[in-house]
Amino acid sequence: MDKEFFIYVLISCIKILIVFGVIQFMIISMIWIERKVMAHMQVRLGPMRVGPHGLLQPIADGIKLLFKEDIIPERADKLLFVLAPAMSLVPALITFAVIPFGDKVQIFGYSVDLVITDINIGFLYIFAVGSLGIYGIVMAGWASNNKYSLLGGIRASAQMISYELTLGISLIGVIMLTGSLSLVDIVNAQAKLWNIVLQPVGFFIYAISALAEVNRTPFDLPEAESELVAGYHTEYSSMKFAMFFMAEYANMITVSAIAVTFFLGGWQGPFLPPVAWFMIKLSCCLFCFIWLRSTYPRLRYDQLMHLGWKFLLPLSLLNILITGLVMVLKG
Amino acid sequence: MEAYLFYIMAAVAVVSAVYLIFEKNPVYSILYLVMILISIAVLYLLLGAQFIAAVQIIVYAGAIMVLFLFVVMLLNLSAKEELKDALSFQKIPAIVMGIVLLSAIGIILRSKIPLGKQGEYTSAYVHDVGNTQLIGKLLFTKYLLPFEITSILLFIAAIGAIILAKRK
């Protein structure tokens, strides 16, 4: 009993470390990929100087940010100003605790689930944690004592609350089809057919809401540089700024992983090992983020609210209704 | 282990509650309230009520408190503005009621807590079926009428809010 418990704790810790490490690595590589892909889409070369094809650019950026002077504004609220970057990064990282990235594997005779923990309220956990991520941004905006930051923070809170609603409701169709809130069950249920085939509208709504939820172009109003300097992180410098940057990328990875799990069959796929399939699908989703960023201009604020409340919300409710109707008719 | 976690989270909740009241800055008060809500969510988890714990965080900490924060930031209330106590006559009744509450708690602590008969839903049964599934089932069978009435109440409140906001 005791030994089993010890092994369980050990395996969990190893899994957490690996997932954490992989996410950090993905964040770093995403920064390079984003600059490179966007550059090529705009017929530029992008970073070329540091390493072959600028491969070492993220490391150079990281070192630069580490050695920059860390400025805290005189009239800022010191405690919250320091806490805010951590408050926005942590929720993005701990969502991964319930996302399955592979099938069961046998290691040294122990069967290990490739998910940090499978809880029967996985879906609710994701949204509980995700809904806390907003505090970091809002606090940063308020604590900086700067009007641009404050406006960015206010915009972020309004936007994220509006889109969190449709984000949650768009996934309910999948929950209804699966009959379980556990993410492992949801992936297992997609062995034959991916949910995107059954829930195309749900996926469409999820994709738009996720884009708005992580404040990426065309929904990057909280940090709109042409109006708000840099929005909520105007006053941040050095590693604190880097943490906001990392939080944005971590959030992107998280919502992509949720999209893969709920709509794209999770780790299911032929020939290749499950983990490889998960990473391939995740990379495709992340590429779409970059693609959209270099394609669309930013929305106006009223357009953003109209889209969320008058189009996406009714559509997502209709989606639930139709899903339920079809399920009842098919028995 | 669970007992220790209970004491820690209960202590966090109580200390945050005290800070919530004595804090002059409304933004900090809201953050202390969020801390209370999260620590209470952990207490729900310890009781095996995962659904309530998650909903507590989603609805209260994630949505309602963010709206509070939104309003406070829009009004830009700061600590310097001394908020005048409009209800100063409350002070003496409040102290009296506080003493009554404390003595009531004292009496309850000293007396034996009567235990009723064990119900249908033991923690083992809930664990087997799943907390969320059971709540869903009961809401749409046994408690259907109260559930629907609640939804109508919330609907009316939402309509009322829209009418009030549109009036000007």
Is it true that the peptide bond before A297 is cis, omega within 30 degrees of 0? no
- The span from the CA of A202 to the CA of A208, in Å, is 10
Decide if B66 and A135 are in contact by the 8 Å CB cutoff. Answer: yes
Average pLDDT for residues A299-310, to the nearest whole number? 84
Q: How far is B51 from chain A (nearest CA, A)?
A: 7
Chain A positions touching B130 (Cβ under 8 A) are 120
Residue B54 is nearest to which of A124, A150, A158, comparing CB atoms?
A: A124
* B69–A132 C-beta distance less than 8 A: no
- pLDDT digit string (tens) for A63-73? 888 888 888 88
Give the domain range for residue B11: 1-79
Determine the Cα–Cα distance for residues B8 and A236; give it in Å rounded to an integer.
34
**Of A162, A194, A202, nearest to A320 (Cα)?**
A202
User: Are A195 and A275 contacting, i.e. CB atoms less than 8 angstroms apart?
Assistant: no
Tens of pLDDT along A37-75? 888 888 888 888 887 888 888 888 888 888 888 888 888
Q: In chain A, whose CA is at the least distance from the CA of B35?
A: A132
The CA distance from B130 to the nearest CA of chain A, in Å, is: 7
Q: What is the pLDDT of residue B152?
A: 94
- The residue of B32, B70, B74, B162 whose CB has the most chain A CBs within 10 angstroms, and thus the best one to mutate to test that interface, is B70
Q: What share of chain A is helix, strand, coil (3-state, %, to 5)?
A: 70, 0, 25
Among the partner residues B57, B63, B66, nearest to A138 by beta-carbon distance:
B66
Q: Is residue B105 part of a domain?
A: no
Mean confidence (pLDDT) of chain A: 84
CB pair distance less than 8 Å for A121 and B58: no
In this structure, which amino acid lies at residue B139? L
User: Would you call B27 and A142 a contact, using CB atoms and an 8 Å cutoff?
Assistant: yes
A84/A134 Cα distance (integer angstroms): 10
Residues of A with CB under 8 A from a CB of B: 77, 80, 119-121, 124-125, 127-132, 134-135, 138-139, 141-142, 150, 153-154, 157-158, 160-161, 164, 168, 181
The pLDDT, as a whole number, for residue B150 is 92
CA dist A221 and A231 (Å) reads: 8
A134 chain-B contacts, CB cut-off 8 A: 62, 66
Q: Give the contacts of A274 (CB within 8 A, at least 6 positions apart).
A: A101, A102, A103, A114, A267, A268
- The answer to whether residue A235 scores a pLDDT higher than 90 is no
- Which of A128, A129, A138 has the CB atom closest to B69's CB atom? A138
The answer on pLDDT for A176 being more than 80 is yes
Average pLDDT over residues B45-65: 86
Spell out the domain ranges in chain A.
75-101+118-330
Whether residues A135 and B34 touch (CB distance < 8 A) is answered with yes
CA nearest to A140, candidates A127, A156, A160? A156
Contact B131 A80 (CB under 8 A): no
> Strand locations in A78-225, DSSP E?
105-107, 110-112
Pick A153's closest partner by Cβ from B54, B73, B131. Answer: B73
pLDDT higher for B76 or A99?
Answer: A99
Query: CATH no. for residue B75?
Result: 1.20.120.1200
The verdict on ipTM greater than 0.85 is: no
A131–chain B nearest CA distance, Å:
5
Q: Is the CB of A164 less than 8 angstroms away from the CB of B131?
A: no
A213 has a pLDDT exceeding 70: yes
CA separation for the pair B103, B99 (Å, rounded): 6
Integer Cα distance of A258 and A262 in angstroms: 6
The string of pLDDT tens digits covering residues A94-145 is 888 888 887 777 777 677 777 777 777 888 888 888 888 888 888 888 888 7
**pLDDT over 90 (residue B101):** yes
Contacts of A10 (CB under 8 A, 6+ apart): none
Q: Which residues contact B63 (CB under 8 A, 6 or more apart)?
A: A131, A161, A164
- Residue B72, pLDDT > 90, answer no
The share of chain A scoring above pLDDT 90, in percent, equals 1
Residues of chain B contacting A, Cβ within 8 Å: 27, 31, 34, 41, 50-51, 53-55, 57-58, 61-63, 66-67, 69-70, 73-74, 76, 130-132
In a domain, residue B151? The reply is no
> A113 versus A253: which is more confidently predicted?
A253
Written as one letter, the residue type at B46 is L
Domain annotation covers residue B44: yes
Which pLDDT band holds residue B15 (cuts at 50, 70, 90)? Answer: very high
Task: Count up the domains in chain B and report the number.
Answer: 1
Mean pLDDT on B60-79: 78
Domain-embedded: residue B130: no
- B81 pLDDT more than 70: no
Q: Which two tokens mark A131? A: 């809904």
Query: pLDDT at residue B159 above 90?
Result: yes
Phi and psi torsions of A115, nearest 5°: -155, 140
The model's confidence at residue B149, banded by pLDDT at 50, 70 and 90, is very high
